Amino acid sequence: MDSWLAVREAAAAADTPDMPPECREDVVGGLRVPWPAERARRWVAESDGRVVATMILSFQEVDNLDNVELDLVVHPGFRRRGIGTALHDLAVREARAAGCRRLMSESVRALPGGPASDGAGSLFARTTGATLAQTEVRRRLDVSTVDRTGLAARIAALTTDAAGYTLLGWCGAAPDDTVEGLAALQSRFLSEAPLGDLAWEPQQVDVARRRAGERSFAARGRVRYETVARHDATGEIVAWTDVNRYHRPADVWFQDITLVLPEHRGHRLGLLVKLANLAQVLDGEPAVAVHTWNAEENAHMIAINEEMGFRAVDAWDAWQLDLGEPAGRAGTG
């Protein structure tokens, strides 16, 4: 575990210097209580008895069975020696052997004005034959710039405009009367979010999967705040957002999913749930920074984030490598 974390920490310092390194509790907790509907396999590469690279392949078990996610990291001091290529070849063999058709991976490159990095991942990915399927921009909110009084006033005004909806917020496990609605929203997320050319199908999330995800979150020591909007007339949960952090550091947060169902758009519910959720985090927790990722083409969500004070930092390229028809399935129609 020490060796694993050392590689990841050195790589994070080189590739995303303004972000915290991987958290030990998160890695250990994830081994004990894995994400539901996913089966992860891990490898390390050694050189003279020293761990110099790590690789995770995450296979899907319920939906998206054709896709496998690759997380490949080589220690910066051992790059350009063919280690990345050797591990990638292994990943392709394993993915094909498991009957998968696509290898999905991600890499980071610098943007003007952001932290310097050499963008090795994106240059490497091109050599593997992968296609750039989408780019997301990471934005960072410097919490010291947030005007807390202004935030409260903005939430109050937006709440007045969103008559007919009630906000509910919490930290940790979702209340029982929201969990079915949350599972339904999570199942719709991938069909509503812009995915570029990425071949992800909607997830199939039921209450059991949602609860299992909460247990994995807790085992990792992560802390998560969520806010939803409930449509008063029907009782349906129609908007949802989530901000979470690793066990350590305790003051760096990640703004994840935000979704408003199409039939309930136009009431500024997206901005409202995000601001209310942020206020709930800032009221209860230490916070220095919040990071978030948006597809370049997601103009509406980017406008919301810019309005909240998020500013662009770097670009995250999503790669997709077509592995061809799996041998075992060829000719089956």
Please select the residue that binds ligand COA; options are 58, 107, 227, 255, rule is CB under 6 A: 107
Please select the residue that binds ligand COA; options are 125, 269, 301, 318, rule is CB under 6 A: 125
Q: Which stretch binds ligand COA (CB under 6 A): 59-67, 78-86, 213-221, 274-282?
A: 78-86
Exposed, middle or buried, 316 (CB in 10 Å: 0-12/13-18/19+)?
buried
Q: How far is the CB of 57 from ligand COA (least distance, A)?
A: 12
Distance, in Å, from the CA atom of 183 to the CA atom of 10, rounded to the nearest integer, reads 37
One-character DSSP codes across 265-316 = TTS-HHHHHHHHHHHHHHHHS--SEEEEEEETT-HHHHHHHHHHT-EEEEEE
Please choose, from the candidates 171, 290, 186, the residue with its C-alpha nearest in 3D space to the C-alpha of residue 223: 171
Using DSSP, how many helices (H) and how many strands (E) does the chain show? 9, 11
Between 34 and 73, how does the x/- string for binding to ligand COA read (CB under 6 A)?
A: --------------------------------------xx
Q: Does 127 bind ligand COA (CB under 6 A)?
A: yes
Of 9-28, binders to ligand COA (CB under 6 A) are 11, 15
Task: Between 107 and 255, name the residue whose CB sits nearer to ligand COA.
Answer: 107
Distance, in Å, from the CA atom of 312 to the CA atom of 294, rounded to the nearest integer, reads 10
Please select the residue that binds ligand COA; options are 124, 165, 200, 254, rule is CB under 6 A: 124
Please select the residue that binds ligand COA; options are 57, 100, 104, 120, rule is CB under 6 A: 120
Q: What is the largest CA-CA distance in the chain?
A: 66
Decide the pairing of beta strands 50-60 and 67-74.
antiparallel
| Number of residues near ligand COA (by CB under 6 A) | 22
Assigned token pair, 297: 């083409």
Q: Does 121 bind ligand COA (CB under 6 A)?
A: yes
Q: How far is the CB of 119 from ligand COA (least distance, A)?
A: 7
Would you give the end-to-end CA distance of the chain in angstroms? 44
Where does this chain bind ligand COA (CB under 6 A)? 11, 15, 72-74, 79-85, 105, 107, 118, 120-121, 123-125, 127, 319
